[in-house]
A and B are shown apart, each in its own frame.
Chain A
């Protein structure tokens, strides 16, 4: 098992390298002259040339990449010109906020999704199944940013149960209870779609597994229905669902872009949106790179869990 994990970690290295190349190329493809973009259209040609030299833009693409990746290894992602601080500092600060939000959502959607999927499959065509199926459809059809607005209107404005925005109260606060208070609405909103996807998939996977010959064997052995479903069938279904949870991690992190904007959560998503509209491209680059790396890690984790569950993959 340890050997397998080591192998998977090694295999992730070329992927991470590929990520840096794609991110670098995307930024290099940006039309227009970054120096002009930074200095504004009234800059003198001398200033532009100087900045180009400072930014290393007079070198070949390959040389630029080598320099960039070298800096990356030293933790240097450049400086944000809008915030006037190192990109890495800003990105890491924002990323931790996103991790809290997305992590909570991922846990919520895994729990609710799996539970709903199992109940739905076990009670196939029953009331519970019909209600869950409909809720799942509503969930994956609702624009999350709109749902966020509705929740703010109802729970923050009308009922005043939860705060409408931010991560901590401005005065006082700052403790865990305050965080949870602020986290509840955005985390719930963010988990809705993923819960639906996971529930749907779990239902199908369970139904498929329950038709397998080895389930008949389990019944022929005289096992109780509880054991047949929760031990024999669920384990097999989980093997199919785990990688999807890994993929959902990507959707949750991505979805955080909307939710952070709606709830003004100081995460990396809202940072990216601002950075794109102000064309602070170094910040965009750094943010995208860190989030993508985290996603690779999540998928790796899902792979490892799947392999632990299924000996055939070893």
Chain B
């Protein structure tokens, strides 16, 4: 075995070009950047207060009471005691910022500590801490702060403690949840087995993973804390005269709201600007640090895959006929600046009652092929970039949305991989089945229910009638997949597309489901497109098979032919490298290296780099799928077993 020196291509080649650094990402976000600029500006002015040429904020001048904005010598006017508002505003901002930040840091420190310990220790410690936290959270937030101030007495420092204290549970809960999740991760067990002590695991293994969450939580709460301390001061419970923060300025101004509104409006505006800039910046930070939000992964997929193909790039239907005829289909994903050619020109032909298996490893494009046909590839980032899919001669990529909706679940039905996540958890099996029926065949509720029971019996679910009111989580994996199959059969589909329908199931259940599908196929004469990674499963069900590698079909033929006499070196290796039951002595012939990444495909044959028979010619030019008969074809310049008849 040779030493592996290749890195995952996306990280090595792309990390610099398409994955910009954190700061660059932040600056890309206009709102976050403007928030940062305003925030920095406010902070700088507040920090510079002692060296700015400002009037003493506490010196009263009864003669200059309530001067309006832009008065001479007082840019923002004066308050009811004749103090310069501009000066008080800047000094007050200093106080508010300091208090808000300190409260955040205190709350984050103690809250995170409690959360970390509770989440990691679990058991009694967790119960004890979290009960206490729940108790504190049972009080409305501000009320608790008020009660604490009532005990400690009004004052800025007391308000700070109160706000920090009531925010501790918020941090503790958040951090505990994350810690709990991380503590169950395998790398924590691995660290334990590496001899690390619990304290080392908590602070050296878990904490680095929790830190971004703490930062996110801090950045989203600091604005809130400034608002709350300002609120307490506004009520007269925070800063006490002559000291002033923005809240107490606002509170004092309120009494003369009608006569001199600027005295209260200006500090309020300042609080707003400060908090708004923090929130804008905080949101930017969150978007960058939260992996779920990063790279737009929380983009809403639209109802149908976008089709971007040139008018002259629409191949005519093949002459083979059949229900489903896919021609030169290409599907791409545009992520960042790179284009992943997940499906690079696939031809498929499916006749009535026929079962075609598509075999490939992860990343070969087999699932994307299946999803592309009815436009179920999420857009963004996916799009159909070329080719056509004809259903009984009708170009599916040119059909209207309305037409596609009618066909989905009607003529073409899907069965997906994980039956737990593909059924809606909040609706009963009956609801979901009848919905599938009535969407395509208008009928009364009771009739639909009858039909649903019929379907459940068809897929051999015992006690079909009672099962209608069951929720998916109440069923076993095998039963759920039966429900999915029943749903796919609801409207007498001509084509059934099954995407690894048995991969998530146990072997014995898998064989039950395969047997069921085989029986139904013969009864109903539906064509099946069966996606799998397992040649064994193909053998059990499929008439013909197409092997995919790096987005293209490399070999196709009847199942017997391909298995007995593989012609593409990849097919041969793929069959060879899997242990077979009953042949324990067989040497496993591993395929060295890894498949290429489809955003950076090599010229020529995509498998050349791993192929023991590769020659110079394999690494240049386009290599076509040579058909040696109606059904048999291989995309290889030097196919194996060329002497044997195809």
List chain A positions with a Cβ less than 8 A from chain B.
15, 18-19, 22-23, 26-27, 29-31, 121-122, 124, 137-138, 140-146, 149-150, 152-153, 157, 204, 206-208, 210-214, 216-225, 228, 232, 235-236, 239, 249-251, 253-255, 257-258, 261-262, 272-273, 275-277, 279, 281, 284, 288, 291-292, 295-296, 299, 309-312
Contacts and interface: CB of A to CB of B under 8 A. Distances in A.
B516 interface: no
A257 B143 contact: yes
A273 B232 CA distance: 10
B138 A146 contact: no
A122 B300 CA distance: 8
B120 interface: no
A212 B141 contact: no
B140 A254 contact: yes
Nearest to A299: B138
Interface stretch (B310-318, B406-414, B443-451, B523-531): B406-414
Quick one: which of A23, A121, A141, A299 has the most chain B CB within 10 A? Answer: A141
Contacts of B416: 213, 216-217, 220
Contacts of B408: 219-222
Interface string B533-576: 00000000000000000000000000000000000000000000
A254 B421 contact: no
B70 interface: no
Interface residues of B, number: 77
Contacts of B303: 219, 225, 228
Given A149-B268, A254-B140, A261-B235, A141 B276 contact: yes
A239 B427 CA distance: 13
B140 A250 contact: yes
B134 interface: yes
A142 B149 CA distance: 23
A150 B283 CA distance: 27
B207 interface: no
Nearest to B277: A141
Nearest to B411: A222
B146 interface: yes
Contact of A150 (B151, B265, B473): B265
Given A138-B276, A219-B376, A288-B146, 18 more contacts: A15-B134, A29-B151, A137-B276, A143-B230, A143-B250, A143-B268, A143-B272, A214-B424, A217-B487, A220-B376, A222-B409, A222-B440, A235-B426, A250-B140, A257-B235, A291-B140, A310-B425, A311-B426
Contact of B143 (A15, A29, A236, A253): A253
A296 B406 CA distance: 49
A276 B149 CA distance: 8
B234 interface: yes
A63 B271 CA distance: 47
Given A145-B234, A221-B487, A223-B435, A292 B143 contact: yes
A232 B149 contact: no
A271 B146 CA distance: 12
26 contacts: A15-B134, A26-B151, A29-B151, A122-B300, A138-B276, A143-B247, A149-B254, A149-B257, A220-B376, A221-B435, A221-B436, A221-B439, A222-B406, A223-B405, A225-B303, A232-B424, A249-B140, A257-B146, A258-B234, A277-B237, A281-B150, A284-B147, A284-B150, A296-B138, A311-B425, A312-B471
Interface string B412-439: 0110101001111111000000011001
Contact of A210 (B300, B409, B410): B300
A31 to B, nearest CB: 8
A146 B425 contact: no
Nearest to B283: A137
Contact of A26 (B148, B154, B424, B473): B148
B241 to A, nearest CB: 14
Given A220-B409, A292-B138, A211 B298 contact: yes
A137 to B, nearest CB: 6
B519 to A, nearest CB: 23
B282 to A, nearest CB: 10
Nearest to B408: A222
A173 B307 CA distance: 64
B187 interface: no
B513 interface: no
A253 to B, nearest CB: 5
Contact of A15 (B135, B151, B410): B135
Contact of A223 (B413, B423, B439, B484): B439
Nearest to A220: B414
Contact of B301 (A141, A211, A223): A211
B261 interface: yes
A312 B425 contact: yes
Interface string B214-244: 0000000001100100110011110000000
Given A149-B264, A276-B150, A276-B237, A204 B298 contact: yes
Nearest to B418: A213
B258 A157 contact: yes
Contacts of B378: 211
B409 A146 contact: no
A218 B142 CA distance: 43
B121 to A, nearest CB: 22
Contacts of B409: 220-223
B279 interface: yes
Contact of B138 (A19, A26, A211, A251): A19
Given A26-B148, A255-B142, A277 B236 contact: yes
A257 B143 CA distance: 8
Contacts of B455: none
B280 A137 contact: yes
B139 interface: yes
Interface string B575-586: 000000000000
Nearest to B436: A221
A223 B484 CA distance: 15
A284 B435 CA distance: 55
B374 A220 contact: yes
B600 interface: no
B395 to A, nearest CB: 18
Interface in B124-174: 134-136, 138-143, 146-151, 153-154
Interface string B253-293: 01001100100110010011001101110010000000010
A212 B254 contact: no
A214 B424 CA distance: 5
What are the nearest 9 A-B pairs in CB distance?
A254-B142, A146-B268, A222-B409, A250-B140, A141-B276, A221-B409, A222-B408, A213-B421, A254-B140
Contacts of B422: 213-214, 216-217
B32 to A, nearest CB: 11
Contacts of A250: 139-141
Contact of A312 (B148, B300, B374, B473): B473
B200 interface: no
A214 B143 contact: no
